[in-house]
DNA sequence: CTATAACTTAAAGTCAGCTTTAAGTCAAGC
DNA sequence: GCTTGACTTAAAGCTGACTTTAAGTTATAG
């Protein structure tokens, strides 16, 4: 079963121009062509494209994905490189998740901050709040944000 | 306590040029100046900058951060907008984390794939593996990647 | 056989987010 | 008062990842 660039693009839900760009950058050395020069994507190519999509979602650059594709083309001698790359990328994603979870705490704090301000009708409420009015998790974030804790927040 | 652009940049571990760029884009309307025109960052500004950093880490664009800063300048009437923004951004981050956890599964699969290939010395091992040699979590990922399950993987 | 829709390439254009450059000003120490 | 390092701005430059354009070719339906 073969697909043209437009068909596979629809299956992957990305523009055909992007796939042509990837091909130009050397990310798709495996794609066959008709005698007339039309790209023919196979089901196997679909899997490779899915892996490319996965790597892109981890924030890997086109250049680094090309390096990986080059290793694939070089054969079994590059298996350790490819394994190392996936391990590195896995660690990378784990720290990205950890990073997002940290930012989530700040967003949670800000949500509490503005919920409280909304109830009071003004942000100034936060200058009159005593520590026991502030949930513990919010106090912790405030301390992280404030290098100078006794000063009340007026910006942002 | 006040800091110059270079001092606060060091504290935040970002280039001074970036802070000047943010200022030019309207992200730092709160920064005071000396009579000579030198920026004076306060500890309170440090908190605002930390929130900007947080929003940037969630992938928010400079333009959207500026919208938020404009709301801050407009006062208490925009509290609901700011609250809604943080709620949206929180949801966004949750789905980013979910997305990364999905890609993590594919990376785990690829790690197993290349560990197995490394032990065997060749990727071809994967054409001879029977289903019971494949961990369940890996079989599930394979099915996601393969639109056509009986075909063995040769690319990537 | 021809119309047409989808394909092809190379090259130029776009956008975000900085970074660098150039020319000049400010402020602290000697 | 002068040197020096850090500051100022405006404008140009850069990078990555596409997207668009232009000119032309291929493949299918009538």
Q: Are residues B115 and B52 in the same domain?
A: no
In-domain check, residue B62:
yes
- Check if A27 contacts B (Cβ < 8 Å): no
Does residue A146 have a pLDDT over 50?
A: yes
Whether any strand D atom is under 7 angstroms from the Cβ of A6: the reply reads no
- The confidence score (pLDDT) of residue B146 equals 82
Q: Are residues A6 and A58 in the same domain?
A: yes
pLDDT digits (tens, 9 = 90+) for B57-101: 999 999 999 999 999 999 999 999 999 999 999 999 999 999 999
- Check if B72 contacts A (Cβ < 8 Å): yes
Joined together, the tokens standing for residue A23 give: 């091909």
- The confidence score (pLDDT) of residue B120 equals 97
Tally of domains within chain A = 2
Taking alpha carbons only, the member of B131, B85, B62, B146 closest to residue A111 is: B85
Residue with tokens 């409280």: A116
**In terms of pLDDT, which residue wins out, B1 or A78?**
A78
Identify which of B87, B104, B117 has the shortest CB distance to residue A90. Answer: B104
In-domain check, residue B109:
yes
The fraction of chain B above a pLDDT of 70, given in percent, is 94
- The confidence score (pLDDT) of residue B148 equals 60
Does residue B151 have a pLDDT over 80?
A: no
Q: Are residues B52 and B107 in the same domain?
A: no
Mean pLDDT of B13-37: 97
Does residue B149 have a pLDDT over 50?
A: no
Q: Which chain B residues in 41-60 sit with Cβ < 7 A of strand D? A: none
Mean pLDDT of B118-142: 95
In chain A, the residue whose alpha carbon lies closest to the alpha carbon of B80 is A118
Identify which of B97, B104, B114 has the shortest CB distance to residue A83. Answer: B114
Q: Are residues B121 and B65 in the same domain?
A: no
Q: Round to whole Å and give the CA distance between A115 and B64.
A: 21
Q: Are residues A70 and A98 in the same domain?
A: no
In-domain check, residue B6:
yes
- The confidence score (pLDDT) of residue B59 equals 96
Does residue B153 have a pLDDT over 90?
A: no
In-domain check, residue B100:
yes
- Which residues of chain B make contact with A79, given a CB cutoff of 8 A? 114, 117-118, 121-123
What is the layout of strands, in order, in the sheet containing A2-3? Answer: A2-3, A39-42, A32-33
- Which residues of chain A make contact with B96, given a CB cutoff of 8 A? 100
Binning pLDDT at 50, 70 and 90, where does residue A148 land? low
Q: Are residues A24 and A67 in the same domain?
A: yes
Q: Are residues B19 and B50 in the same domain?
A: yes
Q: Are residues B12 and B64 in the same domain?
A: yes
pLDDT digits (tens, 9 = 90+) for A67-93: 999 999 999 999 999 999 999 999 999
Helices (H), chain B: 5-12, 16-24, 43-57, 62-74, 79-120, 125-128, 136-145
In-domain check, residue A79:
no
Whether any strand D atom is under 7 angstroms from the Cβ of A35: the reply reads yes
**In terms of pLDDT, which residue wins out, A151 or A132?**
A132
A-facing residues of B in 96-135 (CB < 8 A) are: 96-97, 99-101, 103-104, 106-108, 110-111, 114-115, 117-118, 121-124
Identify which of B11, B58, B114 has the shortest CB distance to residue A82. Answer: B114
In-domain check, residue B133:
yes
In-domain check, residue A151:
no
Residue where a domain terminates, one of A74, A107, A131: A74
**In terms of pLDDT, which residue wins out, A150 or A72?**
A72
In-domain check, residue A39:
yes
Residue where a domain terminates, one of A11, A41, A74: A74
The boundaries of the domain holding residue A45 are 2-74
Buried-exposed string B76-93: b where 16+ CB fall within 10 A, e elsewhere: eebbeebbebbeebbeeb
What is the domain-level CATH number for residue A63?
Answer: 1.10.1660.10
Q: Are residues A14 and A42 in the same domain?
A: yes
Binning pLDDT at 50, 70 and 90, where does residue B147 land? confident
Does residue B52 have a pLDDT over 60?
A: yes
Residue where a domain terminates, one of B74, B103, B124: B74
Please calculate the CA angle A94-A26-A17 and round it to the nearest 5 degrees. Answer: 90
Q: Are residues A50 and A99 in the same domain?
A: no
Residues 6 or more apart whose CB falls under 8 angstroms from that of A143 comprise A149
DSSP B59-101: T--HHHHHHHHHHHHH-GGGHHHHHHHHHHHHHHHHHHHHHHH
């Amino acid at each position: 079963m073969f697909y043209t660039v437009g068909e596979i693009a629809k299956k992957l839900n990305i523009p055909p121009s992007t796939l042509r760009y990837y091909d130009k950058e050397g990310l798709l050395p495996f794609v066959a062509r008709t005698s007339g020069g039309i790209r023919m994507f196979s089901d196997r190519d679909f899997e490779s494209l899915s892996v490319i999509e996965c790597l892109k979602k981890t924030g890997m650059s086109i250049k680094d994905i090309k390096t990986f594709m080059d290793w694939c083309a070089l054969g079994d001698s590059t298996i350790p490189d490819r394994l190392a790359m996936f391990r590195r990328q896995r660690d990378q994603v784990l720290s990205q998740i950890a990073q997002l979870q940290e930012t989530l705490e700040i967003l949670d704090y800000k949500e509490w901050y503005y919920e409280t301000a909304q109830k009071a009708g003004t942000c100034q409420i936060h200058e009159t709040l005593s520590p026991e009015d502030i949930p513990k998790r919010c106090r912790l974030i405030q301390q992280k944000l404030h290098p100078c804790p006794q000063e009340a927040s007026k910006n942002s």
